[in-house]
Amino acid sequence: MKAGLVDELQLRSASARQGQWGGRLSHHVMELGFAGEDAVAGALALALGLQRIELGQLPRDPAALSKVDVKTAQDKGIFPYAYRENGRTLWLAMADPTDLATVDEVAARSGCRVRVAVAGEKEIAAAVWRNYRNQAPPADASKGGAGFARPDAIELEADPTPIPEAPLSGYTPPHGTPIPTTASGGDAEEIARLRQDLEKTTKVLRGLIDALVGKGLLGAAELRAAIAKLPSR
């Protein structure tokens, strides 16, 4: 929030989703489309005074890899990338550098002092596949985030009046004034801003609906009935 990546409502939505499905909060912020991986990793590094490491540019360090098994690396969203000071220090890239329990666990198992840097979830997942398995990561290697499993979300019926991506020809938004089909200058900027606000609100609502459905507070039939009652204009 301090970095301006999310607002309070978005953070509450991501937190509710995390409370239901587990996993890291940063993953849910990205899953809901509130911020990208690079932005999240950069903000965490800046806030915590840590280094932002880019794993794709680092050489393989077999000694570091031997200190953390592949399952732990994948489940915890961590990657050991350097073994320094004559084996006294292990450098660990983490998607969630506030996970001190994992830092302590790695330190106890490796017998090393652990130093932490920040990397993105997808970066870490790719590094695990590339360095431990000597394979290119599959397209869905980091789907759901390392250590994060989420049941299938509720499937909603398709919106009968979806918002077109472009152009806005003939679309009339519900509960409001029709958006003009052509615009220039200030009008075009206002339309773009309204579209961004609408997309942001939609993502927040979807996150909240996921949490309500997962907790059993809202059923599919109830949700469809509520949508059906909404006025069409």
Same domain, 202 and 112: no
The predicted pLDDT at position 231 comes to 57
> pLDDT tier at 230 (50, 70, 90 boundaries)?
low
Classify residue 95 by burial, with Cβ atoms within 10 Å: 0-12, 13-18, 19+.
buried
Residue 107 resides in a domain: yes
Question: What is the extent of the structural domain holding 20?
Answer: 8-132
- Beta-carbon contacts of residue 32 (< 8 Å; ≥ 6 apart): 10, 13, 14, 17, 203, 204, 206, 207
Choose one of 101, 132, 163: the last residue of a domain. Answer: 132
DSSP state of 32: T
pLDDT, tens only, 133-170: 888 777 655 544 444 333 333 333 344 344 344 443 44
* CATH, residue 80: 3.30.300.160
Model-wide pTM > 0.85: no
Same domain, 14 and 128: yes
Structural tokens at position 11: 């953070």
Q: How much is the mean pLDDT over the chain?
A: 77
The predicted pLDDT at position 20 comes to 86
Strand partners, 83: 90
Nearest to 183 by CA among 168, 199, 165, 161: 168
The predicted pLDDT at position 148 comes to 39
84 or 189: which carries more pLDDT confidence?
84
- Domains of the chain: total: 2
Same domain, 128 and 13: yes
The predicted pLDDT at position 227 comes to 67
151 or 196: which carries more pLDDT confidence?
196
Percent of the chain scoring above 70 in pLDDT: 64
pLDDT, tens only, 120-135: 999 999 999 999 988 8
